[in-house]
A and B are shown apart, each in its own frame.
Chain A
Amino acid sequence: DADVTQTPRNRITKTGKRIMLECSQTKGHDRMYWYRQDPGLGLRLIYYSFDVKDINKGEISDGYSVSRQAQAKFSLSLESAIPNQTALYFCATSDESQRKKLFFGSGTQLSVL
């Protein structure tokens, strides 16, 4: 089983719908991250969390919210999806001793029509 699991793998939705992307990890890491990747723009940080009570905005947090339900779970929500949120979304984890190394999930391809 994957250490960092993202669900769903693919999602097509309509403008205005609420969407939740889920991430769970079995690595026991404290730190979790959500990135989005767009062609030609690289990976950009949306939100990150260093423990269950810690939530921080990243470079592009507008239009997104997150919830750290437990050490192992970090979900990303789009309250009202819009087409320019169509992207490949990655969840990642790291720990204090290895904060240089991110472990990524397999990604969620989200399409907003």
Chain B
Amino acid sequence: RKEVEQDPGPFNVPEGATVAFNCTYSNSASQSFFWYRQDCRKEPKLLMSVYSSGNEDGRFTAQLNRASQYISLLIRDSKLSDSATYLCVVRGYSTLTFGKGTMLLVSP
């Protein structure tokens, strides 16, 4: 089982749609969890951290289920500018491990 697994997509959605991304991780000792966003051929940038209690930042909601080793990202009211690749990231003891990313394409 790969350390961090994501559905590669692409997810094609119309503007205004709600879309959910899932991620699973294999190391139960993982300490911290994040979603990064990467635009085509650009550097990844932190979108949000993920907490067990769930956390929200505007249209974005992240959830963590430690028992299932599962992380999710929900985007409501999708915008054209949300088109990007979303990377699930897990921190072990000393370094971050990136998933391969899920591509989102939002169309007019």
* Interfacial residues, chain A to chain B (CB-CB below 8 A): 33, 35, 40-45, 48, 50, 56, 58, 88, 90, 99-102, 104-107, 109
Contact = CB atoms under 8 A, between A and B. Distances in A.
A51 to B, nearest CB: 13
A50 B8 CA distance: 32
Interface of B: 8, 32, 34, 41-46, 49, 87, 91, 94-101
Contacts of B49: 100
Contacts of A40: 8, 100
A41 B46 contact: no
- Listed from nearest, the 3 A-B pairs whose CB atoms lie closest are A104-B43, A42-B100, A43-B98
A13 B100 CA distance: 27
A32 to B, nearest CB: 12
B6 to A, nearest CB: 9
Contacts of B97: 45
B87 A90 contact: no
A40 B96 CA distance: 18
B43 A106 contact: yes
Given A48-B95, A101-B46, A107-B42, 5 more contacts: A41-B100, A44-B98, A100-B91, A102-B46, A107-B43
Nearest to B45: A104
Contacts of A100: 32, 34, 49, 91, 96
A97 B85 CA distance: 27
Nearest to B99: A42
A101 B89 CA distance: 10
Given A33-B95, A43-B87, A58-B95, A104 B100 contact: no
